[in-house]
Amino acid sequence: MSTEVAPTAAPAGPRPRVRATPARTAIAALALVVLLSLVRAISGADDLTSGGAISAALLLAVPIAMAGLGGLWSERAGVANIGLEGMMILGTWGAGWAGYQWGPWAGIVAAVVFGAVGGLLHAIATVVFNVDHIVSGVAINILALGATQFLSNAYFAGRDGGSTKQSPTVDPLGTVSVPFVGDPLASLEAHHWLLVSDVAGILRGLLTNLSWITVLAVLLFPLTFFVLWRTPFGLRLRACGESPTAAESLGVNVYRMKMIAVVASGAFAGLGGASLALAASSFYQEGQTGGRGYIGLAAMIFGNWRPGGLAGGAALFGFADALQLRGGAAIHALLLLVAVLVVLVGAWQLRRRRVVQGGVALACGVAVLVIYLVTTTVPSQLTGSVPYVTTLLVLALASQRLRMPATDGMPYRRGEGG
């Protein structure tokens, strides 16, 4: 559904592609930690790397990551899925409905099933009836909203603690921690030593008090990578997104693969809904998803339709979300981080002799830096927009290497391939 336009500045001659090897990823992650640590020390906003903030970021990244993973499955099979938001809404409702009656684990199962039903609807519309993928997605978002409001009226209103907009409270799911690390890390963190305390804070956030849904969600990333990139099934599924006619000629049942992918996509989105209803709070509430389905889609595109990149995008949104919830000082410090990052990107572009992009990036970076220096706080109303502005900046400034599956969003009919 989108017109593809190649970026203007064509690279002058072939240049070596920088591939994301595990070593390079580790170095990049390390550099980011050092940068965070420096920014924390300069700005004095200790919340930037505190265990609490990182833990909150993880909790908020999970729904976005699950929606994104849903999008990844569906779009890798060539079905654009803008209905993730609706499938997520179905998930939150299912989690609340089954959760308060039979406990949180039943809630998770119901959320996955409800999300998958939304996915099935999208699959039937797009694969069987060849409906435009965007149309079907928009319709599913409307339908899911209407259906959950309708069902809340019937099942939650009048129940103890429930209303037409909210389910009764669900028992907590419980958390899990890596043993023996919480206290030492907390004491290290309290010293506020450069780098050491920051690493301790980040580790404490990542290793202690994890919701079971978070653990499940994190495990789904390597699983998705393995299934989609290391099995024959995954190869066939991705082939359906790149060239369904070629897949068809090799005997792949394209319809079936697409159906499986889209139903799985809904299940992931439903699980994301469960994490909102059961981990981030303890009930279903109308409007709980708050557009996270769309943000998940953005995180997936940001991550170039790859699980690793998607995880990075989701982490970015989760982090900015968490800092915003925890107050202004850390968000103000985030401006410094954004400024430094954008300046670095600009310098890198200049080194590659891309003068225009580099210049624009440097100018943006300096502008953000000036804003950081002349202000002491970010107005509370504007803090919420930081992740969105960051995404726009990153997408606009990073070199354009994003490539979506070749036939993503296009209709396919068996036997009509040219």
Partner 1 sequence: MARVDVRRVLVTIAAPALALVLALAIASLALRASGHSPVDTARAMVTYARRGSTQVLILNTATYYYLAAVAVAIGFRMNLFNIGVDGQYRLAALLSAAVGGAVHLPRPLHLLLIVVVAVTVGGMWAAIAGLLKAYRGVSEVISTIMLNAISTAVIAYLLTPGRLAVSTQGSNNIGTRLIPVSGQVPGLDLIPGANRQVFGFIIVSALVGIGYAVLLNRTRFGFDLRATGRSQSAAVASGVNVKRMVVISMALSGACAGLVGLPQLLGASYSYALDFPTGIGFTGIAIALLGRNHPVGIALGALLWSFLDQSSQILDLEGVPKEIVTIMQGSTVLSVVVAYELVRRYSQVLEQKRVGLALGQTTGVTA
The footprint of partner 1 (CB under 8 A) covers 1-8, 82, 125, 129-132, 134-136, 138-147, 149-150, 153-154, 291, 294-295, 297-298, 301-302, 379, 381-385, 388-389, 391-392, 395-396, 400, 402
Shortest distance (Å) from residue 184 CB to partner 1:
40
Amino acid at 196: V
How many whole angstroms separate alpha carbon 139 and alpha carbon 122? Answer: 9
CA nearest neighbour of 275 among 49, 122, 69: 69
Cα 362 off chain centre by: 28
Residue with smaller CB distance to partner 1, 136 or 197: 136
Residue with smaller CB distance to partner 1, 141 or 208: 141
Shortest distance (Å) from residue 212 CB to partner 1:
30
Amino acid at 417: G
CA nearest neighbour of 134 among 86, 80, 84: 80
Residue with smaller CB distance to partner 1, 28 or 389: 389
Shortest distance (Å) from residue 134 CB to partner 1:
6
CA distances 63 to 116, 148, 292, 314, Å, are: 16, 19, 7, 9
Shortest distance (Å) from residue 142 CB to partner 1:
4
Shortest distance (Å) from residue 67 CB to partner 1:
12
Residue with smaller CB distance to partner 1, 65 or 108: 65
- Asked whether 151 and 97 are in contact (CB, 8 A), the reply is yes
Residue with smaller CB distance to partner 1, 143 or 347: 143
* Main-chain dihedrals φ then ψ at residue 175, nearest 5 degrees: -125, 170
Residue with smaller CB distance to partner 1, 282 or 391: 391
Token representation of residue 74: 């569906």
Q: How many CA atoms lie within 13 A of 369 on its CB side?
A: 13
Shortest distance (Å) from residue 196 CB to partner 1:
36
